[in-house]
Every structure is written in structure tokens, then in C-alpha cells.
Structure 1
Amino acid sequence: MTARARLLAVAATVLAGALGVISSTQTWLTVILADGAEHALPVPGASAIPVLAPLSLAVLALGGALSIVGLVLRYVFGALTVIIAVVLGFLTAQVAFAPPIAAVTATVTTATGITGAEAVAALVLRIETTAWPYAALAGWVVLLAAGLFTLATGRRWRGSSRRYQKDAATAATGGSAASRPHDAIDSWDDLSRGDDPTAR
């Protein structure tokens, strides 16, 4: 059960992060310009929410690290996951349900050369929303659930195995005695224990 809980938390976190990264490259909004021809400009997620891509990458990193960290870091990573989910959920909901001019300003400025929020707002006839903000919002709900699940169950997750701990300790001390060449002293110790050193 504990291994399954860890796997579920890690998988949900990584899935939400991957969805965020993918959605950052997709069209979230379409801006229709009031220029007579009503030109349409696609606005990718990374432009609508500048922190979308970096925070999504951070979520991926948290998900990967969550599979190996100890108890204290599970709580730290769980809390960070919840915070990121809330931040991205709030920003995504704004874009999905009431797209602000700020979400399209960079795209309009790049396409037209017009700067300033008021000037851009005067040029925008309407803003249409695609399905991607809603898909991303669903991902942040999953991410929030994963963070809360981590905080609730992290104490019961199975820790590193004894073998892993032993191997880590061996690596930290530069290797075990068995990893160095078998010398004369080792042969003498073998004889003392009644072992035949020539049998090696």
C-alpha cells in the first residue's frame, strides 16, 4: 500500500507537470484585432502565462525527486506542489474564464509593434479561448490532489531499502574491504579462520 501511494503521488505530479509543459506550447487564446480585416493572432500558453513553462518544469523535477527523497523532503515537496498548483490554478482560471488584456499584450505587441496596455486594448476586438486552458486547469486540480495526498500519506511511505543504505554508506567511505585487492594480510586472516587462501 505504501509503495502504491508513493507511485500514485509521483505519477500524478509528473503527469500534471508534463501537461503543463505541453500546454505552454499550444494555443490558449486567439486574439481578433479590430483592424478592419479582423486578423486572428494565436496566443500560446507560455505567452498568456509567462511562468507556466518554468513552473511546469519545476513540477516535473519535484515529481522525479519525490520518488527517492526521505520523510522531511516529502513534506517540503508536497507543500511546494500544493503552492504551485494553487498559483497556476488561479492564473489559468483567469485566462480560461475572463482573459485579461495582459495575457495577450506581448503577442499583439510583437505582431503590430503597438505598446501599452490601453493601446493594445483599443486594438483588440475580442479574445477567444481554446480548450487548452481548461485542460491545464484540470491538470492543476490533479496536481493539488497529488500534493495533498503526499502530505497526508508521506509518513507511511516505505523508505530506502537496507541494501541501498549499505551501498550508499560503502560509496561514501570509498568502497568496502571486499572491493580492494586481496593482499597477504587478507590471506593470513583467511588462514586464521581456517580458510584456504589458494582456493580463491
Structure 2
Amino acid sequence: MTSGRRLKSIGLLGGLVVSGLTLLTWTGQWFSLRLGASGSGTTTLSVTGGVAAPGLIALALAGLALVAALAIAGPVFRIVLGVLQALLGFTVAFSSVVALADPVAASSTAVTAATGVSGTASVSRLVLSVTQTAWPWIAVIVGVATIGLGIFVLVSSRRWPGSSRRYQPVTFEPAEPGANAVSDWDTLSGGSDPTSR
């Protein structure tokens, strides 16, 4: 049976891995578009995940912040973070599927920047062919893995050990019996030292 400490390590390491992979897919080349217009030659335009699915960078950074919060969270907050982890994964997968479903629309900002042509119909007429790479599919897989990690956190976090003492909330202890700050102050005002008792 796996110990709680080991489960926590797996959860935190898994969070770092999927966030890093999400960041990696954002930097990869997703599509290669062959552009051309009547009476002119063709040109090839490479489109990265940063253009096709620009939200991936924010999702990757949110995942890293979530790992940091998960490292010090208490049992109840871990459940909230597990749900958030699954939602991040769903959003990564959904963004990637949307880009895969319509690569021309996902690449339209890159086409407009390269050619000056804007508008859905005009951009579509310019694109002669689209070649997909493996990166958008990897992003979908990473999104699904992130959902799985969120479920893992939800299921296993009750067995995780608590965070270290320095992250525990401050608790106030009652004063020692017989201690009275007002009478000590009065004693001091009268010229006596209350600590000499």
C-alpha cells in the first residue's frame, strides 16, 4: 500500500509535469499553412500553439501556481484544488480540440499578421492547404492527463500528510492562570517590578 507521503509526492510531481508539458505544447508548431492568391506564388506559414491556442500559457502558469498551493494546503482545500486541476485539464483539452476542429480559424491572426488580410472568408480563400503536426494532439492528451491528475488528487488527498508546522494557522493560547495584565501594569506604575514575584 502506497504511503500518504508518496501519494503527495506523486500528485505534486504530476502537477509539475503536466504544467510543463502544457507550456511545451504552447511553444510547439501546430499547423503549417500554404498560402496563395490568384496570380501570385505560394508561401508557407508556421503556426505555433501560442497562436492556435493562446490560452495554454495562462493555463500552464495556473497549473504551476496550483502545485505550489497544493503543497501547503489542508485537507479541505486540497479537494477544491483537485477540482480546479481537473477543470484546468478540461480547458487545455477543449482549447486544443477547438483548434483542431478549425485550423484556419485558429491560425487567422497569424495569417492576418503575415498578409494583412483579415476576415474569416478572406483568410479562408488565402489558405490553400493545412498540415497538422502532433503538437495539438499532444495538448489534448496532456489535458486528459491533467483531468486524471485532478481526480487522483481528489481520491488520494485525504491520505496525504499535513503541511509543515510553519504553514499552520496561528493559534492564541489563553494566558496563564492568575496572570492579569492590568494589575501588573498598576504594580509597575506603583514602583514595584511585577516580574520579581
Which TM-score applies when normalising by structure 1? 0.78
Q: Which SS does the other structure have where 1:39 is aligned?
A: strand
2:58 alignment partner AA: P
Identity of aligned residues (%): 33
Residue from 44, 47, 56 that aligns with 1:43: 47
1:136 aligns with 2:136: no
- 1:64 — aligned with what? 68
* Partner of residue 176, structure 1: none
Quick one: which amino acid aligns to residue 76 of structure 1? V
Offset at residue 101 of structure 1 (A)? 2.2
User: Which runs of no fewer than 5 residues in structure 2 stay unpaired?
Assistant: 174-192
Contact 2:71–2:163 (Cα < 8 Å) also in 1: no
Q: CA deviation at 1:165?
A: 5.9
1:1-200 to 2 correspondence within 5 Å?
1-35=3-37, 36-96=40-100, 98-161=101-164, 163-164=165-166, 169=170
Gaps of 5+ in 1: 174-183, 190-200
Q: Are 2:91 and 2:143, in contact at CA under 8 Å, matched by a contact in 1?
A: no
TM-score, scaled to structure 2: 0.79
Shift of 1:137: 2.0
Q: Secondary structure at the match of 2:117?
A: coil
Cα distance between partner residues in 2 of 1:165 and 1:60 = 19
Q: Which runs of 4+ in 1 moved over 4 A?
A: none
For 1:141 and 1:185, how far apart are their aligned partners in 2? 67
In 2, the alpha carbon distance for the partners of 1:138 and 1:89 equals: 7
Q: Is the 8 A contact 2:30 2:132 kept in 1?
A: yes
Q: Distance in 1 between matches of 2:4 and 2:41?
A: 60
Equivalenced residues, count: 174
Amino acid at match of 2:109: A
Question: Deviation of residue 134 (structure 1)?
Answer: 2.1
Judge conservation of contact 1:14–1:64 (CA < 8 Å) in 2.
Answer: no
